[in-house]
Structure 1
Amino acid sequence: MCLGIPGRIVEITDTANYLAKVDVSGVRRTISIRLLEKDPPEPDEWVLVHVGFAMAKIDETEALLTLAAVQKLGTSYVEEIEAFDSSSII
């Protein structure tokens, strides 16, 4: 199963290449924010992350509600976090 999961932008690491560090449930990874180049996220904003890309900006309430719902998926949630933890776009 492949899910989009909320992540909080920790820092913009490379503005020229549209890269940012995101925190997803305690796991930090560099992701691409290129798909949001017209309205790039800032640190402490939330995005929906899918396969290493920020797909959309979301508000904190929506992010926390989504995380709570996704965590109820049990094994699928754990597998998604493990896949996120072991992935890299660079």
Structure 2
Amino acid sequence: MRQQALEGEVTQVHRGQQYAPEGATFSIDGTTFEVVAVRERTLGELTDSDAQAEGVANLDAYRELLERAHDHFEWDDDSDVVLHRFERQSGA
């Protein structure tokens, strides 16, 4: 995922809780990114576009990724998640 972010293929992540506020920065291999949007959503609100922004082909592939990554994961459209959208900083 780090390499995909550097290449611009990953521009957001959804997590079960908030990990950073808007305006926070982080670095990957010397490249700085800024968190530009943080908001609460539900899994049911996610779209193919969201999945693609997380580096997978579509929502079905994203669901499969989550199921592989988390033991006992069960997709529930009503489950709360937090969007973290980020952008590469100018000159970085």
Mark yes or no: TM-score above 0.5: no
Q: What's the TM-score once normalised by structure 1's chain length?
A: 0.27
Structure whose residues are more often strand by fraction: 1
Q: What's the TM-score once normalised by structure 2's chain length?
A: 0.27
Larger RCO, structure (CA 8 Å, separation 6 or more): 2
